[in-house]
Structure 1
Amino acid sequence: MELRGILQGLTHEYHGGDKPVDYYLNIGGYRLPLNEWLGSELTISFLGEKNCIACGRKTNKTFNSGYCYPCFTKLPENDLCIVKPHECHFDLGTCRDESFGERYCMIPHFVYLAVSSDIKVGLTRKHNELRRWVDQGAIRAIPIAELPTRRMAGELEFHLSQFLPDKTNWRKMLKGDVKEIDLLAMRDEVYGHFPEQFKAFQYREDEWVDIAYPILESLDKINSKTLDKEEQLGGRLIGVKAQYLIFEMGVFQVRKHAGYQVEIKAKTSA
């Protein structure tokens, strides 16, 4: 099987229980079902061109996982407040696109606890939590607060980051080097750090979400591979987790390479 086109990020479908997430590699409008190719040979070749995933223009360098520089500096999804939501400036009238802000920021958000490399605090739009947790490689997660806007959720997350990490150690996450954590007990402990103005927004759900990933084998050492250094990479595909393809020779972060023109070849192992 051969495919050519612009690479996009991985998409996935969560089925709950012990069933692994179904992953898809998106290229040129086609969805390659990756779970079906686990254990097979998969190669990715860079064809020498990069295109902006927003406007399509050719670019020598991509920013923020697939954008050309003009789209990086102008589009609302690339504003600094997306990664620092407590600095949301919608109410100041300086949002890059007010309609975007109304759709994505001025709506209910969850603050959550997740276990990926360790326990961490994060936020996501309500009803988007499963997508967010899978993209981070979380194996377990639970919402702990529901806030009416992204800024309020960001302010609470920023406060709680004094007591908990808000970043994932991607190497530990991919190795599956994670300690057993009682999320309900941790949630009750974290509630003790809630500022008074946020206590009314506590969200009490007595069951967490467990997430399983399609992984055949684990790697003892995590080597990151990039098409900026190797024009072709791949090998036997042994797993998929977060936005990473896991090969015997190393791991490939797909979303980081969004916008790259590539050729994908897959064949079953002999």
Structure 2
Amino acid sequence: MNDPQDHPDPYETTEAHVERLLGRALNSFDLPDPTVERLATALAHSSALHSSHHSASLHRTTHRHTYLLADGSTLSLWELVHDAGRDGVERHELYTEEAEARLAASRLPSGPPTRWSAEYADGRVLDEDDDFELLSALLARPIPAQPRMYVPDNSADHARRVLRRAENADRPGEETARRLRLAFAHHITQAFGRHCPVAGGRDAGFTLYEHQFLLLDGSEVSLWEVEHTATPDGRHMCEVYEDEDTARGAMESRARVR
């Protein structure tokens, strides 16, 4: 037993463990409903430390929680624990797949943002005073071609969760959501990641992901997800768009608001 709390209770019931796990996770609402329903039938559980990373700026661990269910099957949840928030308080996140937990871990900042500098072909050197111009140049760069490794992994539900966490008013509508119900495989690519100054003289993080879906009819659909902290209180926010240009334009617009 290796649970992410100082002194786990060796006599804790599985029901209490599930309740505690869901209660402390910031994203428990994002778990698929069938998963939560199956957890309610758990009879026994085991927890183990899967990975650990500790540095001066970040403490991060991943734990695997495995449950024996009443029907004889097993179910695993992956818990990411980190102190990457602005206040340094320990946070917990839950994922149904190891790949999702790894992706979430890769999104965590590894240290303080560095000073920007770049040199154009004509010899001009840009620094923090030209950060917006540099950001525009970075956003305009094409994504290097990468092979699409589609994975059949409850992809329709993944698409539903991506759309559900989008907070922008111009997110994809019902027609796109209806098409994505036919998704049977998907692939996630990080297209951009950067910190830059925003309102109030603070730094905000921007990350762009392409969620690529393969549908049953052989067609492909992409959702472009922007994750950023350019919010008034510095909280994490997700926006989703149907095309890359609109997503990059939204990032640039958020970065220019001072």
Instruction: Report the TM-score range of the alignment, normalised by the length of the smaller protein.
Output: under 0.3
The TM-score with structure 2 as length reference comes to 0.22
Q: Does 1 or 2 have the higher relative contact order (CA < 8 Å, sep 6+)?
A: 1
The TM-score with structure 1 as length reference comes to 0.22
